[in-house]
A = this chain, B = another copy of it.
Amino acid sequence: MSEFLFDRRDVEFVLFDQLEVENLVKLPRYQDFSRELFEMVLGEAVKFAAGKLAPTNEQADAEGVRLEDGKVILPESYPPLYKEFCEGGWFAPVHTPDYGGQGLPQSVGMAAIEAFIAAHPSFMFFSGLTVSAGHLIEVHGTDRDVELYLEKMYTGEWGGTMCLTEPQAGSALGDLTTTATPVEGEDFYKIVGNKIFISAGDQNLTENIIHLVLARVPGDPEGSKGISLFIVPRERVNADGSIGESNDVAITGLEEKMGIHASPTCSISFGDNDECRGWLVGERCRGLQYMFQMMNEARLVTGLQGVAIGNSAYQSALAYAKERAQGPKVTDRSESPKSVAIIEHPDVRRNLMTMKAYGEALRAMLINTAFLSDHAMYNEDEAVKTKSQDMLDLLTPICKAFCSDMGFKMTEIAMQVFGGYGYIKEYGVEQKMRDVKIASIYEGTNGIQALDLLGRKMRMKNGGLFLTWLQDTNEFLAELSEDETLGEMAKQVDAAKNALGEAAFGFTATGKKDPEYPLLHATPYLRMFGLVESARLLLKQASIAQTRLEAIWAEKGVDATDDEARKALIEQNDDVRFYENKVKTASFFIYQILPEARAILKSIQSGDRSALDVAL
């Protein structure tokens, strides 16, 4: 089993140096927190991840889950681990303390959850799904629902799921056929239908599971406009909160998946015996709207899976590259050259640096977006609130798709660094690759995210979201344009940002005549946006690091043009090493990876319709 490695320094740099999340404590919602408290929480989270979660991850993957007499049985390590996880207060870190959550900002909570997912991806499905379902009840449920379910769901006493997909209705939920029939004189509906791909759909951890089920009331409109949302507990709940009769919910199957083997993905049948009761959430026919609201939050967590697992793969590969000796340095011209650690080989360095650059960009992107949601929800200045919501809306599909795809890419690169040892189970890289893959698929495939970005988000407020983003980016780049060290990098980012704008305006023009053409480029466009946003964030980090470096050099009397003196200081001082590396990471991303943005623009502007015209 490989050691748990987590770059806490980089996480704290994003939180405290880049975003200055400690300022969030000025908002009433977060007034009881402080920077010290945030740091302590993060420290404890990393400790729990390293000490409790990581040691059980590999064995849980090997053991998997099974269905016995209609009940899902999880790996043996799960029940005690779950108990400790709940008792540690980790079940609902960002949800309201009024019902058992920790009430942390999303930004800080995401950082903690990054450590958890990195340590044990499968285990994190249970709390993730349950609190998402709980939050829907918190926002749209009745007082009765909140009192009956919420605390139990935010503390992990009961589980929760989201039941959306049916065999014939995946990306197109409007085609679902599950029905909810009102019962004369009762407050519940009768639910009948079959759902598939239900994450954490059953388990042997809690005595009840609260399913949130999308269904249609007979007579309501066809398609997505007639879908409502229902609370369907596995066991009915009495008025006093105790558990009553069984609610006719049956687990009918368990998927065999490529990864996340220790997380059960269930088929569920509701109302086989016509005895399944569901309680409407909010208003009739608004179910999809509620669900999408919840899904937008879940999309950040899905992006976070890419961030967490991708960075975890990088950390493993980095450690391996430092210890694995193989072949001499290319510059060694001696008679019998000695093998060196593979980190000395340029091609391996390129692989490591590619992972580092993507990994730090993804983390910054994800935590920054979560930070926007903190302001969107709780800032009291309406202008800040609105702008934060706008940026959150714009960046959410990019976070979900870019972070999951690039997280997967990072596991691919990490495997190459390991060579044959990456393809076998020993170092855990192959499991990371299998586990992270799902993030590109669920919560709306990455293709759906691209359509959401191009078809909805770019058009919201008449393009106003994108214009705001452009303006902010312009301002930031203008500040750096004369900078001696970073000015040239800023120019490269500026050009890529312009390409992004050019593509967008081009779509508006061509889309009128040929609405399919822009959609054909939705996925590359999202990728392009992800690249530019990554470059922007890494450049921002570099500018912070450069300022810190200059202060340290001044203090130590080091001449910035004296390479040897700078190298010597790197060896002595971990801060200097970190900051120097931040500048180099931005440079690497901007010069080695960002040029792809222009290539994408070129393909968008080609006018090539072959993929639409081809008779496949």
Contact = CB atoms under 8 A, between A and B. Distances in A.
Interface of A: 165, 168-172, 174-175, 196-197, 222-223, 255-259, 265, 318, 322, 325-327, 330-331, 336, 339, 343, 345-353, 356, 408, 412, 415-416, 419-420, 422-425, 430, 433-434, 437-438, 440-442, 445-447, 450-451, 515-517, 519-524, 570-571, 577, 580-581, 584-585, 587-588, 591-593, 595-596, 598-600, 602-603, 606, 608, 610-616
A553 B584 CA distance: 58
19 contacts: A170-B326, A197-B420, A256-B425, A258-B425, A318-B616, A346-B519, A346-B612, A347-B522, A350-B520, A351-B447, A416-B440, A423-B441, A581-B616, A584-B614, A585-B610, A588-B610, A588-B614, A593-B603, A596-B596
Contact of A591 (B445, B570, B603): B603
A614 B457 CA distance: 38
The 8 nearest A-B residue pairs measured at CB: A591-B608, A258-B430, A353-B611, A172-B327, A591-B606, A595-B599, A584-B610, A599-B599
B336 A223 contact: yes
Contacts of A197: 420
Contact of A580 (B174, B425, B437, B615): B615
Given A346-B519, A347-B447, A592-B606, 19 more contacts: A256-B424, A256-B425, A258-B424, A347-B520, A350-B611, A351-B523, A408-B412, A415-B437, A416-B441, A423-B437, A434-B434, A584-B610, A584-B614, A585-B610, A591-B606, A592-B611, A595-B600, A595-B603, A598-B598
B171 A615 contact: no
A576 to B, nearest CB: 9
B424 A257 contact: yes
A86 B424 CA distance: 30
Contacts of A326: 169-172, 175
A592 B615 contact: no
A412 B434 CA distance: 12
Nearest to A165: B420
Count of chain copies = 2
Given A419-B171, A434-B258, A587 B616 contact: no
A365 to B, nearest CB: 20
Contact of A172 (B172, B339, B420, B451): B339
